[in-house]
Amino acid sequence: MHQVQICCMLLLASAIAGDHGSAERSSPESAAASQEMAGARATLSNSQAGIRERVAAVEALGGGPNGLADEDVRLLHDQMTFQTPLAVQLAAVNLLDRIPDPRITLVLLSDWTLLGPKVHRRVAAALLWRAPCEDVLHVDTVARPELAAALAWARRDVQMRHPAPEIRRQAEKLLRTPEAPPAVRDMLDKFRAAITLQGDATRGRQVFVEATCANCHKLGETGRHVGPDLARLADRSRRNLLQETLDPNRILDHQYLEYSFVSAQGHVLTGMLVDEDDHTVTLADTKGDPHVIARHDIDDWQSSGHSQMPEGLAINLTLPQMADLLAFMVEGTDSQTTP
Ligand code: HEC
């Protein structure tokens, strides 16, 4: 079992334990209702059950007269894995999101790096209304390192999008940009002078290809889109482009996390999750080539919690080469001709 899943179960236990748990069941269900609930639980525990049946089972759990029992919260959380069809995962998030208990917010976030982008987006939407978001803001990430990645992301989302200015401000305070690791600081020192050097965009395109940037970014006619579109970057100053090139993990976008999947045959695939549907997950490797893995074929998976963009790609460039690269990135969209 994943270490993160064990952490999560402990978290879940503490999240739903306690004498004021809203999930406690107090009055007995009618015989018919309890039979339906038992059927729904059995369906959800059976990974062979059909997608529609499993979605219906999730909805049936939510239809009980007494809210969700602890075991149901756990069962719903168990559906939030890559091995489960997307529709079932989303149904589980939808139902959990209907529980107003703030501790459910942490349950939704607890396996963050083990979820895919579509589930992330659904959880993100939940966070914005879950009142109050303070539970996301007040968790001590030093005491809860397993939640650090999710919380950093969630706080950024709250800071950007929460309707209440006071909550946005609180999130902002927690979001001091972390200091770059020493190796990255050394590179920033080495290349800072490239900002003021006159570069050549045509030569820069060559650097863009040779340093493998074009595997993941497309500018003009050069490269392919795996990572973000550099032409649409809000701040395209040389200073910012240099910083982003050397320190890709500074502000991590959850869309670009790197994942590794192990198939039932023992093959390992590593890359960025570019698509997922009910039956498959698609990863783009560092060359940008897509690899599709069937959900039922996934034996294990994890995320490094880092951006797929490798640090240190530019380490062997000379200062003039970096100046050329920056010139190309600034002007790249306009110079469409190939040399
Ligand atoms: C393996 C794929 C990959 C390669 C190779 C790669 N990048 Fe990236 N790049 C990414 C991803 C993914 C991100 C988004 C990082 C994030 O926010 O988590 C990114 C982000 C960036 C950004 C910031 C964009 C933004 O929207 O904030 C810049 C600038 C950038 N890369 C430049 C480069 C340059 C220059 C090179 C070559 C030296 C390069 N990248 C090589 C995948 C790659």
- The answer on 99 and 75 residing in a single domain is yes
- The answer on 279 and 223 residing in a single domain is no
The protein residue whose alpha carbon is closest to atom 31 in ligand 1 is: 245
Domain of 289, CATH number, reads: 2.30.30.100
Sheet with 268-276: list strands edge to edge.
290-294, 280-284, 268-276, 257-263, 298-307
Are 218 and 210 spatial neighbours (Cβ–Cβ below 8 Å)? no
The protein residue whose alpha carbon is closest to atom 8 in ligand 1 is: 309
Domain residues for 287? 254-307
Check pLDDT > 70 for residue 59.
Answer: yes
Residue 256 has what DSSP assignment? G
Residue labelled with tokens 């997950």: 281
Give, for ligand 1, the residue of 217, 274, 287, 318 to mutate: max count of ligand atoms closer than 8 Å to Cβ: 217
* Strand, coil or helix: 166: helix
CB atoms within 10 A of CB 84: 22
Residue labelled with tokens 């023992």: 266
Q: What is the mean pLDDT of the chain?
A: 81
How far apart are the CA of 16 and the centre of ligand 1, in A?
40
- Whether 338 maps to a domain, the answer reads no
- The answer on 294 and 220 residing in a single domain is no
What distance in Å separates the CA atoms of residue 158 and residue 171, rounded to the nearest whole number? 7
- The answer on 147 and 26 residing in a single domain is yes
Beta strands in 104-251 (DSSP E): 218-219, 222-223
The answer to whether the CB of 125 is under 6 A from ligand 1 is: no
Check pLDDT > 60 for residue 23.
Answer: no
What distance in Å separates the CA atoms of residue 258 and residue 117, rounded to the nearest whole number? 12
How far apart are the CA of 216 and the centre of ligand 1, in A?
7
The protein residue whose alpha carbon is closest to atom 5 in ligand 1 is: 213
Which tokens sit at 269?
């695939």
Check pLDDT > 60 for residue 182.
Answer: yes
Threshold 0.95, pTM exceeds: no
pLDDT reported for residue 58: 95
- Whether 41 maps to a domain, the answer reads yes
- The answer on 220 and 192 residing in a single domain is yes
The answer to whether the CB of 216 is under 6 A from ligand 1 is: yes
Are 259 and 302 spatial neighbours (Cβ–Cβ below 8 Å)? yes
Calculate mean pLDDT across residues 303-321: 87
The protein residue whose alpha carbon is closest to atom 41 in ligand 1 is: 213
Q: Which percentage of the chain shows pLDDT scores above 70?
A: 83
pLDDT reported for residue 52: 96
- The answer on 316 and 170 residing in a single domain is no
Which tokens sit at 333?
């969209």
Calculate mean pLDDT across residues 257-264: 91
First to last CA, the chain: 53
Check pLDDT > 80 for residue 336.
Answer: no
The answer to whether the CB of 217 is under 6 A from ligand 1 is: yes
Higher pLDDT residue, 218 or 142?
218
Give, for ligand 1, the residue of 222, 245, 309 to mutate: max count of ligand atoms closer than 8 Å to Cβ: 309
The DSSP string of 49-114 is S-HHHHHHHHHHHHTSTT---HHHHHHHHHT-STTS-HHHHHHHHHHHHT---THHHHHHHTTGGG
pLDDT reported for residue 320: 96
How many domains is the chain built from? 3
Worst-scoring range by mean pLDDT, 13-27, 50-64, 182-196? 13-27
How far apart are the CA of 307 and the centre of ligand 1, in A?
8
The answer to whether the CB of 233 is under 6 A from ligand 1 is: yes
- Whether 72 maps to a domain, the answer reads yes
Residue 29 has what DSSP assignment? P
How far apart are the CA of 55 and the centre of ligand 1, in A?
37
Check pLDDT > 60 for residue 283.
Answer: yes
The answer to whether the CB of 213 is under 6 A from ligand 1 is: yes
Task: Evaluate the omega torsion of the peptide bond into residue 132 and state whether it is cis, within 30 degrees of 0.
Answer: yes
- Whether 339 maps to a domain, the answer reads no
Instruction: Examine the fold and report which residue of 174, 191, 206 is the final residue of a domain before the chain moves on.
Output: 174
The answer to whether the CB of 231 is under 6 A from ligand 1 is: no
The answer to whether the CB of 110 is under 6 A from ligand 1 is: no
- Whether 28 maps to a domain, the answer reads yes
- Whether 336 maps to a domain, the answer reads no
Residue partners of 126: CB distance under 8 A and separation at least 6: 93, 96, 97, 105, 108
Give, for ligand 1, the residue of 216, 258, 283, 317 to mutate: max count of ligand atoms closer than 8 Å to Cβ: 216
- Whether 337 maps to a domain, the answer reads no
User: Which band of pLDDT confidence, cut at 50, 70 and 90, is reported for residue 29?
Assistant: low
- The answer on 202 and 89 residing in a single domain is no
How far apart are the CA of 165 and the centre of ligand 1, in A?
31
Task: Evaluate the omega torsion of the peptide bond into residue 28 and state whether it is cis, within 30 degrees of 0.
Answer: no
The answer to whether the CB of 253 is under 6 A from ligand 1 is: yes
Which tokens sit at 95?
């139902």
CB atoms within 10 A of CB 206: 17
- The answer on 149 and 69 residing in a single domain is yes
- The answer on 151 and 126 residing in a single domain is yes
- The answer on 321 and 275 residing in a single domain is no
Instruction: Examine the fold and report which residue of 115, 140, 174 is the final residue of a domain before the chain moves on.
Output: 174
- The answer on 81 and 142 residing in a single domain is yes
Measured at the CA of 33, the angle between CA 32 and CA 35, to 5 degrees, comes to 65
How far apart are the CA of 309 and the centre of ligand 1, in A?
5
- The answer on 230 and 278 residing in a single domain is no
pLDDT reported for residue 132: 53
- Whether 51 maps to a domain, the answer reads yes
pLDDT reported for residue 135: 66
